[in-house]
């Protein structure tokens, strides 16, 4: 059973990263489409909770109550082994999945979860890149949406793959929205920083929009527009802090990364940028 999903995941076509995070004004390359159907092993996600398969071991169901809680989410920490994590695509439970200890990991999940596949020690190579299969089903519970977007966020290496799957026969497009917002990184007299993120929004067939309206009214809920926020990819920060008034120096930093490879059976619309700085 597990071998089937791993073979399906390994057989995905490799696409170019859609956005250069360091030059967000350039037109995004269009991600390649994937025709990979949902694997039969999605049955493992039908029950509320978490199922994990490590290496060649049989999948094991995990009681969420046995996991530590952090900011309202149940936390699962991965190991150095290759792991496949299945989350009920329709669950209202909130999970934080950390798979940064190495290995070529896979997550199969619905909306509203936080997934971190960034390998802190070493960069992902071809043999250790991670995959997230994000499954969208209509009629998502209200709990997975908050503020004007979707609950949770993704952090992924640019060598990783995010595949977004829709029910057979679905139409519409996926709209990439690049956000730049300001924050203040330190209690210094002079400092400034930027947060960068990429939100992926499902635009069903028949729903119309204009870039001007989306940029001007960026705080309007996607759901009110008839759209569905699918995932927010956190891409990092840049900025500077001036400590020279205390005898120090000016410190600059830039840890903005490119998003992962994006795949879907639906096409991707041209990226828009919302800069609130």
Mean pLDDT within 4-19: 36
**Average pLDDT of span 47-60:** 85
Q: Tell me the per-residue pLDDT of 156-212, one tens digit each, with 9 for 90 and over.
A: 999 999 999 999 999 999 999 999 999 988 766 788 999 999 999 999 999 999 999
Q: Which residue has the tokens 């793959």?
A: 161
Angle (nearest 5°) at CA 138 between 133 and 139 = 120
Q: What is the per-residue pLDDT across 118-160, written as a single tens digit (0 to 9) for each?
A: 987 655 555 679 999 999 999 988 899 988 899 999 999 999 9
Contacts of 240 (CB under 8 A, 6+ apart): 191, 192, 193, 250, 251, 252, 253
Burial of residue 209, with CB atoms counted within 10 A of its CB: 0-12 exposed, 13-18 middle, 19 or more buried: middle
By DSSP bridging, strand 272-275 and strand 267-268 are unpaired
């Amino acid at each position: 059973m597990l071998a089937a999903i791993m073979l399906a995941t390994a057989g995905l076509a490799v696409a170019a990263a859609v956005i250069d995070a360091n030059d967000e004004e350039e037109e995004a390359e269009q991600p390649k489409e994937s025709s990979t159907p949902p694997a039969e092993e999605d049955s493992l996600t039908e029950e509320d909770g978490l199922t994990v398969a490590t290496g060649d071991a049989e999948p094991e169901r995990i009681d969420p109550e046995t996991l530590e809680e952090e900011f309202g989410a149940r936390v699962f920490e991965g190991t150095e082994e290759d792991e496949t994590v299945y989350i009920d695509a329709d669950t209202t439970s909130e999970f934080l999945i950390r798979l940064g200890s190495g290995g070529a990991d896979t997550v199969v999940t619905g909306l509203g979860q936080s997934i971190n596949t960034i390998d802190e020690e070493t960069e992902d190579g071809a043999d250790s890149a991670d995959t997230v299969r994000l499954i969208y089903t209509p009629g998502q519970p209200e709990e997975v949406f908050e503020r004007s977007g979707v609950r949770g966020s993704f952090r992924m290496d640019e060598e990783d793959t995010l595949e977004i799957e829709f029910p057979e026969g679905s139409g519409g497009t996926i709209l990439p929205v690049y956000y730049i917002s300001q924050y203040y990184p330190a209690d210094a007299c002079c400092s400034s920083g930027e947060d960068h993120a990429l939100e992926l929004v499902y635009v069903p067939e028949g729903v119309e929009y204009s870039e001007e309206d989306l940029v001007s009214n960026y705080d309007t809920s996607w759901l009110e527009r008839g759209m569905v926020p699918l995932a927010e990819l956190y891409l990092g920060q840049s900025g500077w802090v001036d400590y020279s008034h205390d005898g120090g120096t000016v410190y600059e930093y830039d840890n903005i990364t490119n998003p992962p490879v994006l795949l879907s059976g639906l096409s991707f619309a041209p990226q828009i940028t919302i800069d609130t700085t």
